[in-house]
């Protein structure tokens, strides 16, 4: 999902918890302070980005033994310390959840049409 709104990691984790899930791995990307940087502007080609995120979720489900995936990426002007992206992966066991989460962030960076400009 691409959104301008802030997201709650706690709420996303709460929604993902199910009896069959023994591990939930999260990746949270935040705007970091660089010298002179006050924030970033995130632009997306929203329709194409959401389509590609859906493809990534399907691929992760095929490649790894996982039960659930949630990806949320923000767009718009974000200040230092604000959340940019969160990926949650739920699985029966932690190794598959970690592997899938790493795969998802790596592929997102390569394939999803999202651009960041510092200000």
Domains and CATH numbers, the chain: 2-118 (3.90.1170.40)
Tell me what pLDDT residue 73 has.
98
Q: What is the DSSP letter of 81?
A: T
- 2-3 sheet: strands from edge to edge: 2-3, 68-74, 83-91, 23-30
30-43: buried (b, 16+ CB within 10 Å) or exposed (e) per residue?
Answer: ebeeeeeeebbebe
Asked if 25 contacts 98 with a C-beta cutoff of 8 angstroms, the reply is yes
Q: What is the DSSP letter of 16?
A: H
Tell me what pLDDT residue 36 has.
83
Tell me what pLDDT residue 37 has.
83
pLDDT averaged per 10 residues in sequence order, the chain, 119 residues: 96 97 97 88 95 97 97 97 97 97 98 93
């Amino acid at each position: 999902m691409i959104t301008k709104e802030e997201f709650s990691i706690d709420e996303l984790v709460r929604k993902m918890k199910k009896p069959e899930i023994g591990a939930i791995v999260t990746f949270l990307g935040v705007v970091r302070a660089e010298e002179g940087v006050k924030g970033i502007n995130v632009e997306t080609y929203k329709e194409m980005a959401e389509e590609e995120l859906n493809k990534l979720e399907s691929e992760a489900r095929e490649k790894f033994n996982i039960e659930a995936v949630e990806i949320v990426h923000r767009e718009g002007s974000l200040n230092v310390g604000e959340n940019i992206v969160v990926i949650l992966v739920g699985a029966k066991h932690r190794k598959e959840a970690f592997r899938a989460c790493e795969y998802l962030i790596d592929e997102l960076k390569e394939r999803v049409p999202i651009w960041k400009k510092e200000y």
